[in-house]
Amino acid sequence: MDGVVTSMQLTRSPAWVALEKHKKEMASLHMRSLFERDPGRFRRFSLSSCDILLDYSKNRITEQTMALLFALARDADVEGWRERMFRGERINVTEDRAVLHVALRNRGNRPILVGGKDVMPAVNSVLGRIAAFVARVRSGEWRGYSGKRIRSVVNIGIGGSDLGPVMVCEALRPYGRDSGLQMHFMSNIDGSHVQEILDQVDPETTLFIVSSKSFSTQETLTNALSCRRWFLDSGAGEAAIARHFVSVSANVEAAQRFGILPDNVFGFWDWVGGRYSLWSAIGLPIALYIGMERFEELLAGAHQMDEHFRTTPLEQNMPVIMALLGIWYNDFFGAQSHAILPYDHYLHRLTAYLQQAEMESNGKRVQRNGEPVDYDTCPVIWGEPGTNGQHAYFQLLHQGTRLVPADFIAPLESYHHLGEHHAILLSNFFGQTRALMWGKNAAEVRAELAAAGMQGEELEALVPHKVLPGNRPSNTLLIPKLTPRTLGSLLALYEHKIFVQGVIWRVDSFDQWGVEFGKQVAGEILPDLQGSGPVEKYDSSTNGLIGFYLEHSARKG
């Protein structure tokens, strides 16, 4: 199952060794010279699919580089692993589960089997239930206990049950304006987050969605119980809970004990990973906000990218190319981070969403077979929307000592035609990728300063400060407009990029045992915070911190 290179260390494979040698040959080559030598470079290193243009010409690559990277992908059996995923095989090896977020948006309804059973009838059944519920809420047929329409929706979740829905609702805000709904997303266990949201909503007109597969996630259940108490304290009776609380969960019995009717529990399956779950019933707040028809357009866009990824040869495969470029910088140039830079205000939560998608998936130190890796895996993902970032951290991108590859993402068309705003936005978008690649050498700086009237020692003293080395790599992704369909394609593009990188690094991209351990330790400490101390069972730092907290609590009490 581990592909062609199972019998040897990845770093000793012929493809890896060839890339290490090639990197030494490329180290002193500047992208300026690549563009000067090849007027057709943009055409050679760009492609379009699913309404996305990917320009990867501003990378430190040649055709030989790409050929060696495709050889690495084939050595890792990317095509075989891709087929295993789409067939429903249990490629999440540590949890013995299939990985089938692609089934959730399988608009062609091609049979996908898990354990010999086609999952599509169940997927379609849940979608039908979501559609019926969304229609009732948006039409006003579903009303609160006092007969008033639902005006606010509070999604209570964390991680994948929060980051995906909030990101999509923010991204598609122009489509939600006619819903008549105010969307709120409660995720942090911090009581301040809970109270800030409750202060904005009316118990008679608020619908709460409790999103937890197990209905036991500590943060989600604690927040949900606080909302339940707040709701009952408003004067509503226990029976009214059924009109104001629904759930997305696999644990119908626990939801029912909470007061949620079984018909209002929307299920999903163990082959849906949290960070890949917005396509499932976890997307209920999205469907409520933008409508079911547009939610299905989101699914359709993702399915279109799924088919591109599944059927297109590696050399023209957008997720594969982006994955390989990331490995090129991460493992051969020592780049420790990767910036995601959307030039669209509505995509301001995209980077936070991709932080979980990438770092929770591929932030691993052992291979699928349990052996430690001897190479770097996932880089740190970070970034903010342009142009704000240009006035913050772009200085480091241009002149810092670290190599930071970046993805620049923008729509060609805005929803708001305010004078020259969008043209100015795109001029910065195109200008930054040009400046990062091209740079400014000492001769150009001298000529610029001389033209401004500077000369002599004053000029020479300033030259090194104004030199920009350039040769900083970036990908440019352009979409016609940010619509449900194009957003679906964009998100699926990144999902499959993550998958390909995980295959090549030979990690299980679909578990998260580090996250689970952190929860376990927190669970051990909580009873100590509710006691009187002293605590001596942990390390001296943890004991001391708990003691400091208990002393403070005793003084306040």
Give catalytic residue positions. Answer: 360, 391, 519
DSSP state for residue 180 in the 8-state scheme: -
Do 490 and 52 touch, CB atoms closer than 8 A?
yes
For 318-341, give one letter per residue: b (16+ CB within 10 A) or e: bbbbbbbbbbbbbbbeebebbbbb
Beta bridge partners of 411: 479
Do 391 and 348 touch, CB atoms closer than 8 A?
no
Pairwise CA distance, residues 384 & 376, whole Å? 24
Tell which phi-psi region holds residue 376, choosing left (phi > 0), alpha (psi between -120 and 50) or beta. beta
Structure tokens belonging to residue 492: 């699926």
Between the alpha carbon of residue 195 and those of residues 203, 387, 490, the distances in Å are 13, 32, 34
Tell which phi-psi region holds residue 221, choosing left (phi > 0), alpha (psi between -120 and 50) or beta. alpha
Do 87 and 271 touch, CB atoms closer than 8 A?
no
Question: By CB neighbour count within 10 A (0-12 exposed, 13-18 middle, 19+ buried), where does 95 fall?
Answer: middle
DSSP state for residue 475 in the 8-state scheme: E
Structure tokens belonging to residue 58: 């501003």
Going by C-alpha positions, the residue among 203, 184, 513, 185 that lies closest to residue 363 is 513
Going by C-alpha positions, the residue among 243, 285, 255, 232 that lies closest to residue 141 is 243
Q: How far apart are the first and last CA of the chain?
A: 59
Three-state SS letters, 252-273: HHHHHHHCCCHHHEECCCCCCC
Between the alpha carbon of residue 210 and those of residues 229, 271, 387, 449, 537, the distances in Å are 14, 20, 36, 61, 35
Do 295 and 175 touch, CB atoms closer than 8 A?
no
Pairwise CA distance, residues 500 & 348, whole Å? 26
For β-strands 380-382 and 337-342, DSSP reports them as parallel
Sign for the pseudo-dihedral over CA of 10, 333, 479, 286? positive
